[in-house]
Amino acid sequence: MKRCFVGFDTSNYTTSAAVCDEFGGVIANIKRPLPVKSGECGLRQSDAVFAHIKNLPSLTDELSGALVGYEPIAVGVSARPRDAEGSYMPCFLSGVAAAHSFAAPAELPIFEFSHQSGHIMAAVYSSGESERLLSDRFLAFHVSGGTTEALLVTPRDNSFSAELVGETLDLNAGQVIDRVGVYLGLDFPCGVALEQLAKNYAGKVSRPRISVTDGKCNLSGLQNMAQTLFEKEKDREAVAAFVFDFICRTLIEMCRQLIEKYGEMPVLFAGGVMSNTYMRDMISSELDACFSKPAFSADNAAGIALLCRREYLSLQSK
């Protein structure tokens, strides 16, 4: 039997489990999206917990199939949103319960991590630049529906230390994308459909002034500007391109200000919003940045399984 490590992640958007082998290769990356009613922009925490409970039986059945020929030796789980004091969301308790239920019969060790660290680890793994990123500190952007932050990340033997150095002061990028998308009649989550609209737009994109100071940004005005643009133009493709252009210019400026403040270093973009190829292309035209593959950008447990492996091996070497 080959040894492996199992990870669980239960965010406000997706129920996930993953497996990596003892050499650090991901062999299973299993996901179940949480259902959201048409016209709504997300889930209440109580509804998210209930949706995870409904998803977990079929998810663990698929996980069992992925483990044929493998012997789990440790389990990792995302137990909190971020590595910050007081960081808490009830939906992650679903994953903690699932991890303990999975680990208990075989008395496997359990390691807890933050959802954000899982995103960073998954992005590092799939970026093709893991050796460079794990050799020294780097700047990591976590851009999703729940987070728009820039972190100064220092790799450790078993995980990361991350200092918050930039953030949104109001709405997150993913929130704006989903709110505008729902306003345009798209189903939540709206990123994929809004991206396709943007790719179809061939006109000139309006470029109002962005708001970024000392690595911190404001995005709440973007929603109103997008709605005003649609009321004037009645062009969904133009609005989609406008939204992504505004967010990209904001992230690029945040990055430039932070590099000027902290010095040159690698830059990594992670989080569900960064699975958007339209945005990747625009950011890449302005910055020398690393991106994770789409399957490892959106919410997933692969980074948690990989962090579990690092934690386990670090403890074994002591």
In this predicted model, what pLDDT tens digit does every residue of 234-253 receive, in sequence order? 999 999 999 999 999 999 99
Count of alpha carbons within 13 angstroms of residue 69, beta-carbon side: 5
Same domain, 188 and 258: yes
In a domain, 149, yes or no: no
Please count the helices (runs of H) and the strands (runs of E) in the chain: 11, 12
Residue 259 sits in a domain of what CATH number? Answer: 3.30.420.40
Same domain, 195 and 304: no
Angle subtended at Cα 170 by Cα 193 and Cα 133, rounded to the nearest 5 degrees: 70
CB 191 within 8 A of CB 181: yes
pLDDT-flagged residues of the chain (< 70): none
pLDDT on residue 40: 82
Q: How far apart are the first and last CA of the chain?
A: 25
In this predicted model, what pLDDT tens digit does every residue of 177-236 receive, in sequence order? 999 999 999 999 999 999 999 999 999 999 999 999 999 999 999 999 999 999 999 999
pLDDT on residue 34: 95
Of 272, 269, 268, the closest CA to residue 297 belongs to 272
Of 169, 241, 244, 269, the closest CA to residue 212 belongs to 169
Q: What is the DSSP letter of 125?
A: H
In a domain, 31, yes or no: yes
In a domain, 286, yes or no: yes
pLDDT on residue 257: 98
Angle subtended at Cα 171 by Cα 223 and Cα 165, rounded to the nearest 5 degrees: 135
pLDDT on residue 318: 75
* DSSP β-bridge partners for residue 74: 5
Tell me the residue range of the domain where 180 lies. 166-291
Same domain, 276 and 301: no
CB 28 within 8 A of CB 69: no
In angstroms, the CA 96 to CA 92 distance is: 6
In a domain, 144, yes or no: no
